[in-house]
Chains A and B, each alone.
Chain A
Amino acid sequence: MSYSDKVIDHYNNPRNVGSMDKKDTDVGTGLVGAPECGDVMKLQIKVNPQTNVIEDAKFKTFGCGSAIASSSLATEWVKGKTIDQALEIKNTEIVKELALPPVKIHCSVLAEDAIRAAIGDWKKKQETANPAEVRAAQ
């Protein structure tokens, strides 16, 4: 199977590889895995608590070229977006951008799952960090 140029580019020059302190209250961590292929993907976001804008994103993926490219692209796309905007990213958009073949669609699903998991983790932290606000909102 041949990879598209965009996949190869992300694979050779992955953007935003690395990690952040997962104990930081502004950091959300998503760790997801695809049992079909054994891939594991960690995606982290750093959110500005005032604006809800994702200011930084990092990832580390163990898996095939498509999984690495999907997560690399996902970090590029979430940066600068608000939490709500980031939740609108669909795996089909990743498929389209990277021209992923049908057998690699699960890689894009994994990337979307990772974004959602990271945001979910961040939201949970905000609730525990600011229980008063949550109570007030209820």
Chain B
Amino acid sequence: MPGQSPAQSSTDVTPSCWSCGTMRAVHFCSSCGKVQPPVPVDYFTFFGFPRKLNLDTAALEKEFYALSRRLHPDGFGQADDRERAWSLEQSSMLNDAYRTLKDPIKRTEYLLRLEGVELEEQSKQATEKARATGELKKQVVPPDLLEEVFELNMHLEELRAQKTLGEDDPALLEEIGKAKLSLEEKFDALFNELKIEWNHWDQAVDSGTGDDRRKVLDTMLDVLNRRNYVRNLVRDVNEAMEG
């Protein structure tokens, strides 16, 4: 699928325009302005951005609207079938790229995928290493958060049981409400943590080594995992309280 293929840069793009043969851009020929067949580039390259996480969202939006207008089907009424098909494909990639890059979490997850970071594979490898060395595996979710998650799940189970019996325990509800508040604070704090890692990533892109970049990617994965964990838990709490 275009945009999903990893590690493609603009240098891999066929450099000549199908129509006039001069240098072309990703979407339109920079010389004759004809629409180009889509090429498998990543979403950052699609918009002409560096693969960085602090992204100028105003510029992204401007570029999105400009390209949307140029790729609009109305502009290809007179064009041949090939051009019409290409403009549609470019349009669809444009929408995917925009939606992914606009959202800060999706953008980070997308970058991790592009850089080949796979969570489950890492977890499995860490378990295998622990088995081989006899050392304890470092858990992705920190122990104090796990304790909190476990306690809260116990309370939720109790709450569900009470609801089935038609009972109501204000103390339990208050306990769960407090836990939910604490989780929501954690959720926000984790987003701020992620933004700090964006800066580290962008610096590493400019002047870091491969090891530096790998370290930042691992940290970002760690933060995202904890954030997902907390998000799922808040969702469970809401369901249990409403249900």
Chain A residues in the interface with B (C-beta under 8 A): 31-38, 40, 42, 60, 62, 87, 90-91, 105-106, 109, 112-113, 116-117, 120
Contacts and interface: CB of A to CB of B under 8 A. Distances in A.
Interface residues on B, range: 20 to 34
B149 A33 contact: yes
A42 B145 CA distance: 13
B2 to A, nearest CB: 26
A42 B146 CA distance: 10
A87 B134 contact: yes
Given A38-B229, A38-B232, A106-B123, A31 B147 contact: yes
A35 B146 contact: no
Nearest to A19: B154
Interface string B108-129: 0000000000011001100100
Contacts of B140: 33, 35
Nearest to A31: B146
Given A31-B147, A112-B131, 14 more contacts: A31-B146, A32-B141, A33-B140, A33-B141, A34-B123, A35-B119, A35-B225, A36-B225, A42-B150, A62-B149, A87-B134, A113-B127, A113-B137, A120-B136
B150 A62 contact: yes
Contacts, number: 70
Contact of A117 (B136, B149, B232, B236): B136
Contacts of B143: 31
A40 B147 CA distance: 9
A36 B119 contact: yes
B139 interface: yes
B130 interface: yes
A31 B150 contact: yes
Given A42-B150, A87-B134, A112 B127 contact: yes
